[in-house]
Amino acid sequence: MFGWFCYSCLAAENKAELDGRECHWCDCVMSGAPAVYYTRAQMRAKYALEQDPILDFTTACFFGPCVNCQTARILRQVTELDVQQDTMTKAPETQAMIVSEKQTNSQGERANEHS
């Protein structure tokens, strides 16, 4: 719904997210079919998706809100995958065991008893 009723705002958010920066008011002003097309082409290049410039330009001109929403969905999915992969590849923190002197002495006494 957001992409349909606030087309320029979603286009601006998509562009800012793809660039890895905050969204500014000038992004909203500079959105339109050419901006949506350029953002989609940039997304395809960045994530190694299949390129189709003629189809992308045509759909951006005639079905701008739909292309805009699809671009937002793909960016969200890629971001979620990146977060999951980062979580899975990090090793757990090393934990140190603290042994008190009392435990050490009692273990030493047990070892002496068995000898």
Q: Is the pLDDT of residue 106 over 80?
A: no
pLDDT tens for each residue of 3-60? 777 888 899 899 999 998 998 888 888 878 888 999 999 999 998 889 889 999 999 9
Neighbour-count burial for 2-28, b at 16+ CB within 10 Å, e otherwise: ebeeebbbbbbbbbebbeeeeeeeebb
- Yes or no: say if 14 and 70 are a contact pair by the CB < 8 Å rule: no
Residue with tokens 């759909």: 59
